[in-house]
Amino acid sequence: MSTEKHAAAARKYLKDTAKVDWQDETLWLVRGKRDRLSKQIPEWEALRDAASRIKLYSNSHLPELLEQFESHAVANGAIVHWAKDAGEYRDIIGGLLTGHGVRLFVKSKSMLSEECGLVPYLEGLGIEAVETDLGERIIQLMGLKPSHIVLPAVHIKREEVGRLFEKEMGTEPGNSDPTYLTHAARRNLRQYFLKADAAMTGGNFAVASTGEVVVCTNEGNADMGTSAAPLQIAAFGIDKIVPDRESLGVFTRLLARTATGQPVTTYTTHYSAPRKGTEFHIVIVDNGRSRILADREHFRLLNCIRCGGCMNTCPVYRRSGGYSYSHFIPGPVGVNLGMASDPDRHKGNLSACTLCHSCEMVCPAKVDLAEQIYRWRQHYHTSAGKKAISDGMAFLMGGPGRFGAGLTVGPGAMKALKAVGGHWGKGREFPDIVSSKNLESIEKQDHGK
């Protein structure tokens, strides 16, 4: 994650053109798969519309639905915890693990655990926390953070994985074949799955009418962990609530098609009761979501189902990489979620959008992502230079006399802009300011004929 403004970080990232092009092509390929699959479903747009409406319904009825979820989950034999914030989330999970004497803990991918800093906290308690999603494991062993919410290691080259696994798992030197490396990780992680004292998942959906937590993965890592360990924890944000199974029919049709261009994830697992002789704990987390709900301009952010589709389509994300953003979630939804959590820290991401609106049309739950970036920009300004240009334009446009005078000096003004630090001129010529000719006269000339 970047500690500087997106524009500055992106400028550095763009120096390695070959890598930039590779990332762009890789992510565009995923967008292309999504396009092909979505076009095989005649009712695709009706599905998106339904998903958006279900989320608006759920998010405007959260107290009832959460309590309904809880009562069903408890009746099913699960133990439900509530966490106001990241600190409570860490305390609950840390307390459960230490209380059960857990030394080895396997977890599947959960953006909530990134959001709440779970793994470093557990390591501080002396618990070995192993990420089991292959991409997450690669990132964890490298000491990095995910650069994409669904494809966490999308920026890592196979050769880098080869060298990492040679050191960590004893694979053959120089072998960077993805199949070979994936199967090495399979063997390596098996021992953790079968030995783990506890397993944790996030949750893609939590069903109010049944008390089920639904987890979608391709690798089966969540399933391996939860099917073997004596203690299972599932933690999710309050916005994961859906009213009923009928809603799952809509979301499971959209999620994988948008995320990775598959008709469905390999595993769609519904957990409601603990396995015999084990405990199943559910942690429901707010951590700022109720604040988003209260924000009339931004509450639709809670529609997000974390599919990553907006990242794959974003022309800026594809060319600036996940680490150019200051928030742990990058791309269009990350710009917005960062602003919703800590605007002063994340306003440097607001520039990372051309307002092309592609994200809004890919989004399966119709979050108004670009429109929200427009709104944040009205309240949080990112650069003095931009303000000066905007002010200057607003002044010039204040009257045709000023505007005309501005156009007369236009060519000079463009050069001045370059001199005061406008970067237009690098790699791109300035346009010619053609003339300040009175265009309104065309009408008079025409009618005079």
Kindly identify the residues of this chain, within the stretch 308-327, that bind another protein according to CB under 8 A.
Answer: 313, 315-316, 319-320
Contacts with another protein by CB under 8 A: the residue count is 168
Three-state DSSP class for 293?
helix
Residue (28 or 117) nearer to another protein, CB:
28
- Classify 447 as helix, strand or coil: helix
d(CA 31, CA 317): 13
- Tell me 172's DSSP state: P
CB of 100 to another protein, least distance (A): 19
> Residue 15 contacts by C-beta under 8 Å, 6 or more apart in sequence?
none
Q: Supply the minimum distance, in Å, between the C-beta of residue 131 and another protein.
A: 11
Closer CB to another protein, 46 or 416, in the complex: 46
Select the span of 96-104, 145-153, 328-336, 338-346 touching another protein (CB under 8 A). Answer: 145-153
Q: Which helix (H) or strand (E) holds 205?
A: strand 205-207
Residue 95 binds another protein (CB under 8 A): no
Does position 10 interact with another protein (CB under 8 A)? The reply is yes
Query: Is position 346 an interface residue for another protein (rule: CB under 8 A)?
Result: no
Burial class of residue 49 in the structure, from the number of CB atoms within 10 Å of its CB (0-12 exposed, 13-18 middle, 19+ buried): middle
Contacts of 244 (CB under 8 A, 6+ apart): 207, 208, 209, 210
Report CA-CA distances (Å) from 53 to 64, 163, 198, 344, 364: 17, 47, 37, 31, 11
Beta carbon of residue 303, minimum distance to another protein (angstroms, whole number): 11
Q: Which of 95, 345, 397, 409 binds another protein (CB under 8 A)?
A: 397
Which listed residue (97, 102, 154, 304) binds another protein by CB under 8 A? Answer: 154
Considering only the stretches 7-15, 116-124, 196-204, 330-338, report the one whose residues sit in contact with another protein under the rule CB under 8 A: 7-15
Q: Does 132 bind another protein (CB under 8 A)?
A: yes
Cα 188 from Cα 193, distance rounded (Å): 10
Return the number of other C-beta atoms located less than 10 Å from residue 5's C-beta. Answer: 19
Rg of the chain's alpha carbons, rounded to an integer?
Answer: 25
Give the shortest CB-401-to-another protein separation in angstroms.
Answer: 9
Nearer Cβ to another protein (149/350): 350
Task: Write out the binding residues for another protein, residues 102-131 only, by CB under 8 A.
Answer: none
Query: Binding residue for another protein (CB under 8 A) from 98, 175, 182, 191?
Result: 182
AA identity, residue 8: A
Fill in the per-residue mask, 407 to 446: x = in contact with another protein (CB under 8 A), - = not in contact. x--x------x----xxx-xxxxxxxxxx-x-xx-xx--x
Check residue 93 for interaction with another protein (CB under 8 A): no
Minimum distance from residue 126 beta carbon to another protein (Å): 26
x/- string (CB under 8 A) for another protein, residues 247-266? xxxx-xx------x-xxxxx
103, 107, 112, 113: CA torsion to nearest 10: 30
CA-CA-CA-CA torsion sign (315, 320, 324, 329): positive
Closest by alpha carbon to 340, among 299, 371, 306?
299
24 vs 197 by CB, closer to another protein = 24
Q: Tell me the C-alpha distance between 297 and 41, whole Å.
A: 32
Identity of the residue numbered 356:
C
19, 82, 94, 197: which one binds another protein (CB under 8 A): 82
Encoding tokens for residue 311? 């990242």
Told to check if 344 binds another protein by CB under 8 A, we report no
Q: Is 449 in the site for another protein (CB under 8 A)?
A: no
Query: Between residues 126 and 350, which has the closer beta carbon with respect to another protein?
Result: 350
Give backbone dihedrals phi and psi of 386, rounded to 5 degrees, phi first.
-65, -40
Under the criterion CB under 8 A, does residue 304 sit at the interface with another protein?
Answer: no
Residue 364 one-letter amino acid: P
| The one among 199, 238, 304, 305 contacting another protein by CB under 8 A | 238
Q: Is 19 near another protein (CB under 8 A)? A: no
Q: Is 331 exposed, middle or buried (0-12, 13-18, 19+ CB in 10 A)?
A: buried
- Nearer Cβ to another protein (113/312): 312
Considering only residues 56 through 75, tell me which ones interact with another protein, judged by CB under 8 A: 56-57, 59-63, 66-67, 70
